[in-house]
Amino acid sequence: MQDPLGLQRLGYAKPLLEVRAHRWERGTSAEGTEQVVEETPVVLVYNGVPHVVMMATPVDLEDFALGFSITEELIRRPADLESVEVVRYSQGIEIQSGVAPECESVIASRTRRLTGRTGCGICGADSIAGVLKQLHPVPPGRPVAPAAIERAVESLLSHQTLNAAAGAVHAAGWSSLEGVVELAREDVGRHNALDKLIGALLKRGVDPTTGFVVVTSRASFEMVQKVTVLGAPLLAAISGPTGLAVRVAQQAGLTLVGFARGARLTVYTHPERVAR
């Protein structure tokens, strides 16, 4: 690491950092350059009031602001996010967002009291109601073939440029019903990657019934909640779901697919959507 300021340059970091490292293999070591993904404090600020600090990869932050604001139900519609400015400081980044005045009381009532760690989607929530949000039923949607889900998982790999370079990075992708990933976002946090994807989809005006979401992580209930807010009918994860994720998906009408790896997948809820 050549920068003598170290922690004093976090806000200006690029997504990847080059470091010197020693690699051991079969009893021998070699020194070389490795790339590691950055993990940066990102403060979401609404109308001048800090809301939460999230640990995130410093890329696609405008998408993150919109996706987080929608899936956390801080705003009612994308148009409520009237402005977004990414401001970099010595030890972190602020996403300074202007929102419609009608949203200010909701945001104030949900301000978090802890930093959102990399693997945490609900850190700082101070009530059960703040965690288990309003249920969002999803529309029926068209059937998806198992082979399309398999293709989407494989296709997502080609969109994971940060993970290919450094590892330790999650991805969330938007796939057509035929299994072609048309859009993807990456982040060290799986929730952040999904929020970035949802923000990008909303900015593009994508109809959520025309495809499905695929993620390179487990399917926790927060991930399910975020997909139901988007309105997509199916979520496929390469790892397994939690019990609460299955409960929420079942009640919301979401098809939840886990262990989507190779030719194998397991459908936990609403299996009628997965058909040849």
Which of these is catalytic: 36, 120, 123, 165? 120
Q: Which of 60, 18, 51, 26 is nearest to 192 (CA)?
A: 60
> In the block, which residue shows the tokens 């990456």?
186
Q: CA torsion sign, 257 to 258 to 260 to 266?
A: negative
75: helix, strand or coil: coil
| 120 labelled catalytic | yes
- Cβ distance 194 to 172 under 8 Å? yes
Residue type, 134: Q
* Separation in Å, CA 161 to CA 61, 142, 157, 185, 186: 17, 30, 8, 10, 8
Comparing C-alpha atoms, which of 115, 148, 113 is closest to residue 255? 148
- Cα gap 18→2, rounded to integer Å: 9
User: Nearest 5°: CA angle at 39, between 38 and 45?
Assistant: 125
Output b/e per residue, 9-30; b: 16+ Cβ within 10 A: ebbebebbeeeeeeeeeeeeee
* Active site residue ranges: 120
